[in-house]
Amino acid sequence: MRRPRLVLADEPTSALDPETESRILGELKIAFGEATLILASHRLRSVRHMDMIVVMSKGRVVETGTHDALMAAGSAYAQMWQIQEGGQEA
């Protein structure tokens, strides 16, 4: 089996508990090494450690950056993170 250059994963951990999700995502990064991993997810915890996060709304890219940069900017991503992690209502 050849090593892929690109891996697309659409909500691969949506039905998993947080510990299993973290372990699976770590294994994906190891298994695919140098490949580009595109991970589509509504669970922001899944994308927190990715090299680049692309936030889309209504089919358009509205912001890009790392978790830390998007959080520091107080972006839409930061607001979504607070809702998911802090239990705040929209």
Sorted by where each begins, the domain ranges of the chain are 1-50, 52-90
- Rounded to 5°, the CA angle 84-29-18 comes to 30
What is the per-residue DSSP string for 23-54?
A: HHHHHHHHHHTTSEEEEE-S-GGGTTTSS-EE
Give average pLDDT by consecutive 10-residue segment, the chain, 90 residues: 82 86 84 86 85 93 95 92 74
pLDDT at position 79 is: 92
pTM for the predicted model, two decimal places: 0.77
Give the pLDDT of residue 90.
45
3-state secondary structure of 78: helix
